[in-house]
């Protein structure tokens, strides 16, 4: 009798443990291009649902000037077990809204003129996380003048080698402009990244729906 009760408790415990494992997952798909080469489990551990089996290390790296990307990162973090790295400009007094967004425009023009030169990119503060230690990097960036925000471009330019062969997810916040220029920048800066099939674009009109949009995008691409 006591044995049966213990078994029941044990079964309920296991069911609860599995349920909580599925609710919050680490970065999942190790094969974003669906080439069919995902890692095999080495042990005969109990079967987990598709996409939740790899203890991949995930880094969310973002820049945010007015807070939209920061809010998107909060939504991502509520679904994904990931470290978070915020990129900051060296000159934190920079006013990108002044003079018709002139400073940001000048930065983007300097990069466009000589994208291969380190001197074209605005200085950023040093970071305390090593990109090379992660399997998946989710880049969350504002759009500036239809391109990737210059500060985030600096980070990707400086870390391009460390991000070779990594799974890359791209999330872009803009007021209204489409993100093809940002996607092109990401691919230019990370030519050897394994990009997920789709990027996530959140504009100001649908920013309030970010929780749902982020969840759907993660389910489709990453977890």
Ligand X SMILES: Cc1cc2nc3c(=O)[nH]c(=O)nc-3n(C[C@H](O)[C@H](O)[C@H](O)COP(=O)(O)O)c2cc1C
Residue 4 binds to ligand X (criterion: CB under 6 A): no
Q: Does 122 bind ligand X (CB under 6 A)?
A: no
Look at the alpha carbons of 63, 67, 68, 73 in this order and tell me if their dihedral is positive or negative. positive
- Is residue 145 close enough to count as binding ligand X by CB under 6 A? yes
How far, in Å, CA of 221 to CA of 196, rounded? 6
Choice from 25, 96, 124, 214 touching ligand X (CB under 6 A)? 96
Which residue sits closest to ligand X, CB atoms considered?
A: 104
Distance of CA 43 to the CA centre of its chain: 30
- Least distance in Å: CB of 64 to ligand X? 3
Out of 11, 12, 66, 112, point to the residue binding ligand X (CB under 6 A): 66
Stretch that binds ligand X, among 44-52, 87-95, 116-124, 169-177 (CB under 6 A): 169-177
**Contact indicator for 153, 115 with CB cutoff of 8 Å:** no
Contact flag: residue 180 with ligand X (CB under 6 A) = no
d(CA 173, CA 170): 10
Report, in Å, the least distance between residue 137 CB and ligand X: 18
Among 31, 65, 77, 135, binds ligand X (CB under 6 A): 65
Residue 145 vs 188, nearer CB to ligand X: 145
* Helix H or strand E encompassing 30: none
Residues in CB range of 172: below 8 A, 6 or more apart: 140, 141, 142, 143, 148, 179, 182, 183, 199, 200, 201, 202
């Amino acid at each position: 009798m006591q044995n049966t009760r213990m078994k029941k408790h044990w079964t309920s415990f296991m069911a609860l443990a599995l349920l909580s494992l599925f609710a919050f997952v680490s970065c999942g798909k190790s094969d974003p291009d669906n080439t069919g080469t995902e890692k095999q489990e080495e042990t005969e551990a109990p079967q987990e649902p598709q996409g939740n089996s790899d203890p991949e290390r995930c880094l969310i790296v973002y820049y945010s000037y007015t807070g939209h990307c920061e809010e998107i990162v909060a939504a991502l973090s509520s679904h994904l077990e990931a470290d978070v790295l915020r990129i900051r400009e060296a000159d934190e007094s920079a006013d990108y809204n002044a003079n018709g967004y002139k400073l940001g425009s000048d930065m983007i023009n300097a990069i466009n003129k000589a994208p291969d030169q380190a001197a074209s990119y605005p200085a950023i503060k040093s970071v305390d996380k090593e990109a090379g230690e992660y399997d998946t990097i989710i880049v969350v960036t504002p759009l500036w003048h239809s391109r990737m925000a210059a500060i985030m471009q600096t980070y990707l330019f400086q870390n391009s080698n460390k991000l070779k062969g990594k799974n890359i997810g791209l999330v872009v916040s803009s007021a209204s402009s489409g993100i093809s220029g940002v996607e092109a920048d990401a691919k230019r800066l990370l030519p050897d990244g394994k990009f997920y099939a789709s990027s996530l674009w959140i504009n100001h009109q649908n920013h309030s729906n970010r929780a749902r949009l982020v969840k759907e995008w993660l389910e489709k691409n990453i977890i």
